[in-house]
């Protein structure tokens, strides 16, 4: 076990992921340090979602390694990675539409049995997400898209993650709602949760991130601070809708 605080919380080394014969991720290296908010940007089909699913354990890697807290986790099933503190908020939110908001949130704590601490964490989530608190008894499928996204984030927080993987949190949401979601993401980051964010809205992602990686056709082609990539002409032309 690495106790060196400078060692990465998460490290992908030459990670490859293949889908039915197609290589979706082609040997990438990526590092995340404790307390960082890092984004992964790129066009549709670049391999971003595949990367998050491989880290969370819902996809097997074909080659390479995933180290988390200094240990190999690519050999562990998804539920054991969740117990270790790796939580994924999937694209499309993945909430239980027929359960109430409160039942959804409590599902996030299913790997835990520290009842008092779960209640404390619920209160924390309610403070962070007042809109969610107002709708505890409502059936989750009847919520707006933005409210569902907040429930999905709240549910992930109840597993007490050290690493939160967020896949397209702003997808299909109105600009004002997106702003609110990013405020929530920022407050989660301020609580010390390390975040890896996949986001279509590259401008917003880079603005909020300390560092970012650019992914193209399964490879990492560029990395730098959020501010550097925001001003990089190639990035501006490809993802921020500006002529180079």
Residue 71 lies in a domain: no
Residue 199 lies in a domain: yes
Residue 132 lies in a domain: yes
What are the angstrom distances between the C-alpha of 15 and each of 66, 159, 219?
Answer: 7, 26, 10
Stated pTM of the model: 0.93
47 pLDDT higher than 70: yes
Residue 104 lies in a domain: yes
Residue-level pLDDT at 1: 43
227 pLDDT higher than 70: yes
**Domain that includes residue 224, residue range:** 34-57+80-239
Which candidate, 216, 205, 203, places its Cα nearest to that of 42? 216
Strands 63-68 and 10-19, sheet pairing: antiparallel
Residue 152 lies in a domain: yes
Residue 12 lies in a domain: no
> Average pLDDT, stretch 189-206?
94
Across 12-35, b (16+ Cβ under 10 Å) vs e yields bbebbbbeeeebbbbbbebbbbbe
Domains of the chain: total: 1
Query: Domain with 84 in it: what CATH number?
Result: 3.40.50.300
Residue 93 lies in a domain: yes
For all residues of the chain together, what is the average pLDDT?
93
Residue 233 lies in a domain: yes
Model confidence pLDDT, tens digit, residues 128-142: 999 999 999 999 999
Sign of CA dihedral 74, 75, 78, 81: negative
């Amino acid at each position: 076990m690495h106790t060196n605080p400078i060692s990465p919380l998460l490290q992908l080394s030459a990670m490859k992921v293949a889908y039915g014969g197609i290589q979706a991720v082609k040997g990438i290296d990526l590092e995340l340090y404790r307390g960082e908010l890092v984004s992964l940007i790129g066009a549709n089909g670049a391999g971003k979602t595949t990367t998050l699913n491989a880290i969370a354990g819902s996809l097997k890697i074909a080659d390479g390694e995933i180290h988390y807290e200094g240990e190999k986790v690519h050999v562990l099933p998804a539920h054991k990675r969740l117990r270790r503190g790796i939580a994924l908020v999937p694209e499309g939110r993945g909430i239980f539409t027929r359960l109430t908001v409160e039942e959804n949130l409590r599902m996030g704590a299913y790997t835990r049995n520290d009842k008092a601490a779960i209640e404390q964490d619920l209160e924390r989530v309610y403070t962070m997400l007042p809109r969610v608190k107002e709708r505890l008894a409502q059936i989750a499928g009847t919520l707006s898209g933005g409210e569902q996204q907040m429930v999905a984030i709240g549910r992930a927080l109840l597993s007490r993650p050290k690493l939160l993987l967020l896949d397209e949190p702003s997808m299909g949401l109105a600009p004002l709602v997106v702003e609110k979601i990013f405020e929530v993401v920022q407050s989660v980051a301020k609580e010390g949760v390390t975040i890896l964010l996949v986001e279509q809205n590259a401008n917003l992602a880079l603005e909020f991130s300390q560092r970012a990686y650019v992914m193209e056709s399964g490879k990492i082609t560029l990395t730098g601070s959020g501010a550097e990539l925001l001003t990089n002409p190639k990035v501006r032309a490809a993802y921020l809708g500006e002529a180079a």
